[in-house]
């Protein structure tokens, strides 16, 4: 279960680009989490615009069905911040894990003036330097929607900075091609994207649907040549499919 959150959240992330300000409606996306063809969990993404010029974004991941008899991990993450022309600028991030030996709460406070983030874990805060386009990991699904929507020409490779686990991580993202994906909500034409974490070599593959403002309709996490988990979109409200 500890890998479920990573599959969705540390899956593909975008960086700031010159573009118009983000204009996303409030929406909620539900995902099934599958392992070996079995539904082992569920994940819920919620996005809410906050006036003036802000956002609130949350992810709730939990086990479901018979899996709860063995694993009862539940993770809630929340990001709040500003919306600018280049995308999302987190100001506050909270991670809350319950139900296993790794239970605990941590918070990040972003200071864009001093280019630092304060990491508060177990009431022992400390600071580290960040770049202007540094984001938290839960904001990733929003930022990739923005970046793919505003992608210029044949640009197929991006580099991202993520404040995560007390380190400033680097992820490389590559647009690989087009693919049709079947989900419980129907078939979608998608752009397939691969994200590599340069700190550990782990990869996340994501299928983003242009008709849904590049929302991910499927995502997979891979370690070496082994697929660990797959997430598939099962329900969506507030974001209507657009004509191609």
Give the chain's domains with CATH numbers: 2-237 (2.50.20)
Q: Measured between alpha carbons, how far apart are the two ends of the chain, in Å?
A: 36
pLDDT tens across the length of the chain (244 residues): 444 333 333 343 333 333 455 679 999 999 998 888 788 899 999 999 998 999 999 999 988 754 553 457 889 999 999 999 888 999 999 999 888 877 888 899 999 999 999 988 767 788 999 999 899 989 977 888 888 888 887 888 888 899 987 788 888 889 999 999 999 999 999 999 998 888 777 888 999 999 999 999 999 987 766 667 889 999 999 988 765 4
The Cα–Cα gap between 217 and 233 comes to 5
Q: Which of 16, 6, 33, 47 is nearest to 237 (CA)?
A: 47
The Cα–Cα gap between 180 and 71 comes to 33
**pTM of the model as a whole:** 0.83
Q: Which helix (H) or strand (E) holds 6?
A: helix 2-9
Residues in the chain: 244
Both structure tokens of 226: 């082994």
């Amino acid at each position: 279960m500890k890998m479920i959150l990573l599959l969705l959240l540390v899956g593909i992330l975008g960086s700031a680009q010159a573009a118009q300000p983000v204009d996303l409606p409030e929406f909620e996306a539900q995902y099934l989490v599958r392992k070996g063809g079995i539904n082992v969990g569920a994940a819920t993404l919620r996005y809410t615009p906050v006036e003036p010029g802000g956002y609130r974004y949350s992810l709730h991941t939990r086990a479901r069905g018979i899996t709860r008899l063995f694993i009862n991990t539940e993770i809630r993450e929340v990001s709040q911040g500003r919306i600018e022309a280049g995308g999302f600028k987190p100001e506050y991030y909270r991670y809350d894990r319950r139900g296993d030996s790794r239970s605990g709460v941590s918070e990040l406070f972003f200071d864009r003036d001093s280019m630092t983030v304060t990491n508060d874990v177990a009431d022992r805060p400390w600071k580290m330097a960040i770049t202007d386009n540094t984001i938290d990991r839960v904001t990733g699904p929003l930022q990739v929607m923005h970046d793919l929507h505003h992608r210029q020409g044949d640009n197929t490779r991006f580099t991202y900075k993520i404040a995560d686990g007390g380190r400033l991580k680097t992820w490389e993202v590559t647009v690989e091609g087009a693919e049709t994906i079947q989900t419980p909500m129907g078939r979608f034409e998608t752009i397939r994207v691969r994200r590599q974490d340069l700190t550990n070599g782990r990869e996340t593959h994501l299928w983003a649907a242009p008709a849904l403002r590049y929302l991910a309709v499927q995502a997979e996490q891979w370690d070496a040549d082994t697929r660990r988990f797959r997430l598939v979109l099962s329900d969506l409200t507030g974001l209507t499919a657009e004509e191609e």
